[in-house]
């Protein structure tokens, strides 16, 4: 068995204090300003400065007892957006610790190779590889070298197993008109390049070709681009 893991990313959290206050259950000793009475005054002051057209739902509760310290439109149905990353990151650090590593495993027996995804979001991430001066396909080169070293000369069957998560790769509430945006890429147990296909349009005279990254078979691409007046090309995928 060959294991490959990438460290979980450490996210720098820059946010208002009232957001940090909601995470006090993860702290050993809350500061003096984080007592119920003092906290209420501080949050009232901050919310009074929020523009009137801004909606905020806020709930501060004690993690151990569940006692509510502060509530402001706490039951309002609002999309958490990127604020949810703060709570997910805090929960992940509490549950798994800062040294947790995702594992993507490679198994080989004879000419049969299995790849078991562990949900690593940073697998084959271009920005991570660039910081290490590595190619996006570095891990595949390492796997190929390891397979050759143990005597594998040909692969007759390749199985990709992403069953660590369910089959819902795209949230049903995501806007359909943004389905091609990188921030709505499908999620899964096996990921590469943020599950995006980067396309570069190359124009040489009347010929228009596409450069794909990661490289995929041209049979999966239908190129109908034509040379005309200057405009931005439109790239879409079948729904």
Contact 42, 70 (CB under 8 A): no
More confident residue, 228 or 204: 204
Under 8 Å between Cβ of 137 and 94: no
Residues 17-47 have pLDDT tens digits of 334 344 444 444 556 656 788 888 889 999 9
Contact 152, 111 (CB under 8 A): yes
21 vs 30, 46, 81, 144, 230, CA distance in Å? 9, 13, 19, 48, 52
Cα→Cα distances 218→168, 174, 215, Å:
27, 29, 9
User: How do residues 76-93 score in pLDDT, each as one tens digit?
Assistant: 888 777 888 898 899 999
Mean model confidence pLDDT for the chain: 80
pTM of the model: 0.63
Rounded alpha-carbon distances, angstroms, from residue 136 to 64, 108, 129, 214: 44, 22, 6, 8
pLDDT digits (tens, 9 = 90+) for 154-184: 999 999 999 999 989 888 888 888 888 888 8
Question: For the chain, what percent of residues have pLDDT higher than 90?
Answer: 28
pLDDT at 110 over 80: yes
- C-alpha torsion 76→74→81→120, nearest 10: -130
Read off the pLDDT of each residue in 225-233 and give the average, rounded to a whole number. 73
């Amino acid at each position: 068995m060959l294991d490959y893991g990438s460290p979980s990313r450490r996210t720098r959290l820059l946010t208002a204090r009232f957001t940090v206050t909601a995470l006090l259950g993860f702290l050993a000793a809350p500061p003096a300003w984080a007592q119920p009475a003092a906290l209420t005054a501080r949050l009232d002051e901050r919310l009074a400065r929020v523009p009137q057209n801004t909606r905020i739902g806020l709930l501060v509760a004690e993690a151990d007892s569940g006692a509510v310290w502060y509530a402001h439109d706490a039951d309002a149905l609002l999309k958490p957006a990127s604020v949810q990353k703060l709570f997910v990151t805090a929960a992940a650090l509490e549950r798994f610790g800062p040294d947790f590593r995702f594992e993507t495993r490679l198994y080989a027996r004879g000419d049969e190779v299995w790849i078991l995804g562990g949900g690593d979001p940073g697998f084959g991430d271009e920005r991570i590889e660039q910081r290490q001066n590595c190619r996006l396909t570095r891990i595949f080169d390492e796997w190929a070298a390891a397979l050759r070293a143990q005597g594998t000369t040909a692969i007759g069957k390749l199985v990709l197993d992403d069953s660590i998560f369910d089959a819902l790769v795209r949230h049903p509430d995501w806007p359909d008109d943004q389905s091609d945006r990188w921030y709505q890429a499908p999620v899964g147990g096996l990921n590469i390049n943020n599950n995006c296909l980067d396309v570069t349009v190359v124009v040489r005279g009347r010929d228009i070709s596409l450069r794909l990254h990661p490289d995929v078979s041209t049979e999966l691409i239908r190129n109908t681009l034509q040379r005309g007046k200057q405009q931005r090309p439109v790239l879409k995928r079948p729904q």
